[in-house]
Amino acid sequence: MKTDLDKEFESAFVKASSSTIKLPPDVMLKLYAYYKQATSGSNYKSANGDVELINAFKLNAWLQLTSLTEDEAKQGYIDLVNKHILKK
Protein backbone atom coordinates (compact mmCIF):
# COMPACT_ATOMS: atom_id res chain seq x y z
CA MET A 1 0.00 0.00 0.00
CA LYS A 2 1.37 3.39 -0.99
CA THR A 3 1.82 5.99 1.69
CA ASP A 4 1.05 9.67 1.24
CA LEU A 5 4.80 10.27 0.93
CA ASP A 6 5.05 7.68 -1.87
CA LYS A 7 2.20 9.36 -3.76
CA GLU A 8 3.72 12.81 -3.29
CA PHE A 9 7.13 11.49 -4.42
CA GLU A 10 5.63 9.96 -7.57
CA SER A 11 3.82 13.20 -8.33
CA ALA A 12 7.02 15.21 -7.86
CA PHE A 13 8.87 12.80 -10.17
CA VAL A 14 6.25 13.25 -12.91
CA LYS A 15 6.45 17.04 -12.54
CA ALA A 16 10.24 17.02 -12.66
CA SER A 17 10.36 14.62 -15.61
CA SER A 18 7.91 16.63 -17.68
CA SER A 19 9.29 20.07 -16.80
CA THR A 20 10.96 22.13 -19.51
CA ILE A 21 12.70 24.36 -16.98
CA LYS A 22 16.48 24.29 -17.38
CA LEU A 23 17.88 23.69 -13.93
CA PRO A 24 21.47 24.34 -12.86
CA PRO A 25 23.72 21.26 -12.93
CA ASP A 26 24.07 21.17 -9.14
CA VAL A 27 20.28 20.99 -8.73
CA MET A 28 20.06 18.27 -11.38
CA LEU A 29 22.70 16.26 -9.51
CA LYS A 30 20.79 16.68 -6.25
CA LEU A 31 17.56 15.54 -7.89
CA TYR A 32 19.37 12.52 -9.31
CA ALA A 33 20.96 11.67 -5.96
CA TYR A 34 17.73 12.01 -3.98
CA TYR A 35 15.88 9.93 -6.57
CA LYS A 36 18.47 7.14 -6.53
CA GLN A 37 18.65 7.09 -2.73
CA ALA A 38 14.84 7.08 -2.52
CA THR A 39 14.42 4.25 -5.02
CA SER A 40 17.56 2.16 -4.54
CA GLY A 41 18.85 3.01 -1.09
CA SER A 42 22.62 2.75 -0.72
CA ASN A 43 22.93 -0.02 -3.31
CA TYR A 44 25.05 1.54 -6.05
CA LYS A 45 26.01 -0.84 -8.84
CA SER A 46 27.93 0.16 -11.93
CA ALA A 47 26.62 -1.40 -15.12
CA ASN A 48 30.02 -2.15 -16.63
CA GLY A 49 32.58 -0.92 -14.14
CA ASP A 50 33.57 2.04 -16.32
CA VAL A 51 33.11 5.38 -14.64
CA GLU A 52 32.95 8.37 -16.94
CA LEU A 53 33.28 11.86 -15.51
CA ILE A 54 29.53 12.49 -15.45
CA ASN A 55 28.94 9.18 -13.71
CA ALA A 56 31.59 10.08 -11.15
CA PHE A 57 29.71 13.28 -10.34
CA LYS A 58 26.43 11.38 -10.11
CA LEU A 59 27.96 8.73 -7.87
CA ASN A 60 29.55 11.38 -5.64
CA ALA A 61 26.21 13.20 -5.28
CA TRP A 62 24.47 9.93 -4.41
CA LEU A 63 27.13 8.81 -1.95
CA GLN A 64 26.68 12.08 -0.05
CA LEU A 65 23.11 10.97 0.72
CA THR A 66 23.75 7.39 1.81
CA SER A 67 23.01 8.27 5.41
CA LEU A 68 19.43 9.19 4.48
CA THR A 69 16.58 6.71 4.68
CA GLU A 70 14.53 6.19 1.55
CA ASP A 71 11.71 8.27 3.06
CA GLU A 72 14.10 11.12 3.91
CA ALA A 73 15.41 11.03 0.34
CA LYS A 74 11.86 11.08 -1.04
CA GLN A 75 11.10 14.16 1.05
CA GLY A 76 14.33 15.81 -0.09
CA TYR A 77 13.40 15.15 -3.72
CA ILE A 78 9.91 16.57 -3.20
CA ASP A 79 11.35 19.67 -1.53
CA LEU A 80 13.76 20.27 -4.44
CA VAL A 81 10.99 19.91 -7.02
CA ASN A 82 8.78 22.29 -5.06
CA LYS A 83 11.60 24.81 -4.72
CA HIS A 84 13.01 24.74 -8.26
CA ILE A 85 10.20 23.60 -10.53
CA LEU A 86 6.86 24.47 -9.00
CA LYS A 87 7.90 27.95 -7.83
CA LYS A 88 8.94 29.13 -11.30
Using alpha carbons, list the distances in angstroms from residue 21 to 36, 47, 76, 82: 21, 29, 19, 13
Q: In the chain, how many domains are there?
A: 1
Say which residues have a Cβ less than 8 Å from residue 71's Cβ, sequence separation at least 6: 5, 38
pLDDT at 73: 96
pTM value?
0.77
The tens place of each residue's pLDDT in the chain, 88 residues long, gives: 899 999 999 999 999 999 999 999 999 999 999 999 999 887 766 555 545 666 888 888 999 999 999 999 999 999 999 999 976 5
State how far the Cα of 30 lies from the Cα of 42, in Å rounded to an integer: 15
- CA dihedral sign of residues 60, 65, 71, 75: negative
Segments forming the whole domain that contains residue 14: 4-86
- Residue-level pLDDT at 75: 97
Q: What is the CATH number of the domain that holds 15?
A: 1.20.80.10
